[in-house]
Amino acid sequence: MSTINLDSVNQIRAILINRRQSLAVAESVTAGILQVAFSSADKAAEYFQGGITAYNLGQKARHLGLDPIHGEQSNCVSPQTARTLAENCCSFFSSHWGIGVTGYASTVPEQGITELYAYYSIASDREEMKSARITPPPGLQDPIAVRYYYTNEVINVLLEVLTHGVQKKTI
């Protein structure tokens, strides 16, 4: 499914506007789709500060403070990378909430990457609130469809955190 759950996005917008809070994203594997999703909400400028798509180690280190040694060792795909992206995009965009997501939307056999997965982190005021590893359902292999799957999963988790709170659970 290559669509964005706009109902959930608009619910997030309403909650954040009501709380007078804002959101920013730092994404890699989703390649800007989270930015498209959150900017598509009604009155997006009232809650969405913006986002950055940092697709390689150099940009993640330069703009979001990722430790380059860790980035090199993990190919920038790790829980620590997602947490760094989420927490640092809060300060980069002066937002209350930040999302970081990194992972693989296609296999990279030459690097031994044969499984698709991503890590996300949701931060509030520069502190990780929730994070996890997500994997697409069996048979979903199209890289664009995988990116939309990750995007919708992260949107759903953010909505859950905003509506029900979170028992801090990290990977």
**Cα 105-109-114 angle, rounded to 5 deg:** 55
At 167 the pLDDT is: 60
pLDDT at position 69, please? 85
Report yes or no on whether pTM surpasses 0.75.
Answer: yes
- Strand stretches in 69-161, DSSP E: 97-103, 118-124, 127-134
> How many whole angstroms separate alpha carbon 20 and alpha carbon 138?
40
DSSP 77: -
- Evaluate if residue 171 carries a pLDDT over 90: no
Q: Angle 6-19/143-164 helices, nearest 10 degrees?
A: 40
The continuous run of DSSP H or E covering 14 comes out as: helix 6-19
Domains and CATH numbers, the chain: 6-164 (3.90.950.20)
What local confidence, expressed as pLDDT, does residue 135 receive?
97
Mean pLDDT estimate for the chain: 92
Is a pLDDT exceeding 60 seen at residue 75? yes
Mean pLDDT of 115-127: 95
